[in-house]
Amino acid sequence: MKSWDRLARVVVVGASLLVTLAVSGSVAWADSPAEPKDGAAAVALQQSVSPAAEPPKLDTGDNAWLLTSSALVLMMTGPGLALFYSGLVRKKNVLSVMMQCVFLMCLMTVVWALYGYTLAFGGANTDHPPPWLGDLRYLGMSGAQATWEDGKSVIPLFPQLTIPVMTHMLFQGMFIVITPALICGAFAERMKFGTMVAFMVLWATLVYCPLAHWVWGGGVLMYGSPNASGVFQGGALDFAGGTVVHISSGVSALVCALVLGKRIGLGREPMPPHNMTYTAVGAAMLWVGWFGFNAGSALAANGLAASAFTATHFAAAAGGLTWAAMEWIVRGKPTVLGTCSGVVAGLVCITPAAGFVTPIPALGMGVAVGVLCFWSCTALKSRFGYDDSLDAFGVHGVGGTLGALLTGVFATRATGAFSDGKLLGLIEGGPVLAGQIAAVVVTWGLAALGSLAILKVLDAVMGLRVSQLEEIQGLDLSQHGEEGYIFL
């Protein structure tokens, strides 16, 4: 108890200091020279936006950066997430986790090509985007050209986009690849592979694609354009996927863990990670790949991408240090697993805010999520007794929620994401924070209810969980007829 009391005091003092630093950092950036405000600021999420009438042209540099970012995001799933997750399970389930990641790279790509992209972004570049689901203009990749044609952006808030539709499709396709794979961490070592495949197809169709359209494709949650006074209207700020990727996958992971129940022997026999080397290497790959995830979401090789890159790196570093410090205070020793988990938590938290916050608030967000996710993966999980095998909810659900909310506090126009240097968040009165809260509530609701409905149907039709004998034997053999040989 003394260690927890000491921890509480450290957290209170540290939180006060961080808020002070974050606010001062935002104000310092906000006071930097900015373009004059003309009362009717142009809609722009790029620093390079110009009010000139000349239509945008294909930019080979922007196109090259987005294609590179697409490769970086794909690397996050395999080998990044595959190594990170497989190192945390028992040896008899290593290949099953790797198979889930690699198979989903294939499966989600096909779903995205056939109908996923059009459900998420179809009609986004029209004067009146569909509010609930994209239209079918890109069905089967129809119209997703690689050449520059009419110069009209795919996304309404990026009117000067300088990449072809196919590049945008590829970049966004990597997001739907990794998001379902994150959920696998909650039901590792106990779900039928065939049921997992069916669940992911339905989840991507009924949860991910609608949510992506709502937030990014011109739907009901997308952050609106300014009115005549230059004030932005409603919606959610989600630069790279705090709601669409992390909250949705984290909350769905929690539902999966609750519905499937605990692993056999949990709490009665030790289940330590079998190979922390895999996990450390995977975490490093995730960190590097995340630069494509977040900085690539600027959709151009410009100053906004540099700002998002910096915020991403700073938050990851602060998250890793903070989680290690928490372990040091509470348990007496910092661990590799804790540091890696803190890095990932920092990356998750900064994802919705990457293009909207400056470096010092990014550090503060990393510290805050390091504390909160450490608590959620230890005390919270222990208190409620659910078996979130690899802490998918504790890191992605909790970290994504905190990141979405703190985006509403520290978002600033000084990063180049908006047209002047004023703060957007709580310091300016809180309208953005209200939109963030609404988006979090909607995302939690859709992910939880959608996942629960899908699981209940599949349980009745196919069954969710492997047999007791198969679970004891291990999923490598029982589901795939293979056995991994670990040399590291």
Asked, for residue 164, whether it belongs to a domain, the answer is yes
Which tokens go with 217? Answer: 């494709």
The verdict on residue 23 lying in a domain is no
Determine the average pLDDT of the residues in 14-26: 47
Domain-located, residue 10:
no
Q: What is the dihedral of CA 80, 82, 85, 87, to 10 degrees?
A: -90
Asked whether 426 and 433 are in contact (CB, 8 A), the reply is: yes
pLDDT attached to residue 155:
66
User: For residue 486, is it within any domain?
Assistant: no
What sign does the dihedral 149-150-156-158 (CA atoms) show? positive
Q: Give the number of other Cβ atoms within 10 Å of residue 99's Cβ.
A: 20
The neighbouring-strand residues paired with 191 are 465
* 269 DSSP β-pair partners: 266
Helix-strand-coil split of the chain, %, nearest 5: 65, 0, 35
pLDDT band of residue 255 (cuts 50, 70, 90) is very high
Give residue 12's pLDDT.
43
First to last CA, the chain: 38
Tokens 């950066």, residue? 65
**CA–CA separation, 216 vs 238, rounded Å?**
8
Left, alpha or beta for 266 (phi > 0: left; psi -120 to 50: alpha)? beta
Domain span at residue 126 reads 62-130+155-221+241-480
Residue 404, token pair as written in the block: 């979405």
SS3 465: strand
Please check whether residue 373 lies inside any domain of the structure: yes
Per-residue pLDDT at 448: 98
HEC string of 392-413? Answer: HHHHHHHHHHHHHHHHHHHCEH
Q: Is the pLDDT of residue 112 over 60?
A: yes
Residue 35's pLDDT is: 39
Domain with 344 in it: what CATH number?
A: 1.10.3430.10
Q: What is the pLDDT of residue 42?
A: 34
Closest CA to 411 of 459, 354, 450: 354
Tell me what the mean pLDDT of segment 423-451 comes to: 81
Give the residue carrying structure tokens 């998420």.
Answer: 120
What are the pLDDT digits (tens) for 451-473? Answer: 999 999 999 999 999 999 999 99
CA nearest neighbour of 283 among 367, 327, 348, 234: 348
Question: pLDDT tens for residues 295-318?
Answer: 999 999 999 999 999 999 999 999
Q: Is residue 443 part of a domain?
A: yes
| 193, pLDDT greater than 60 | yes
Residue at 87 is within a domain:
yes
pLDDT average, residue stretch 212-234: 68
Specify the higher pLDDT residue, 463 or 221. Answer: 463
Percent of the chain with pLDDT over 90: 68
**What does the pLDDT read at residue 96?**
96
Per-residue pLDDT at 245 exceeds 50: yes
Tokens 């709502």 belong to which residue? 214
Asked whether the predicted pLDDT for residue 335 surpasses 50, the reply is yes
Residue 95 forms part of a structural domain: yes
Quick one: pLDDT at residue 435? 86
Q: How far apart (Å, rounded) are the C-alpha atoms in residues 182 and 297?
A: 19
Number of domains in the chain: 1
pLDDT reported for residue 342: 98
Q: What is the pLDDT of residue 223?
A: 76
Q: Between residues 488 and 299, which one has the greater pLDDT?
A: 299
Out of 211-220, 363-372, 418-427, least confident range: 418-427
The pTM of this model reads 0.87
Give the mean pLDDT of 43-66. Answer: 66
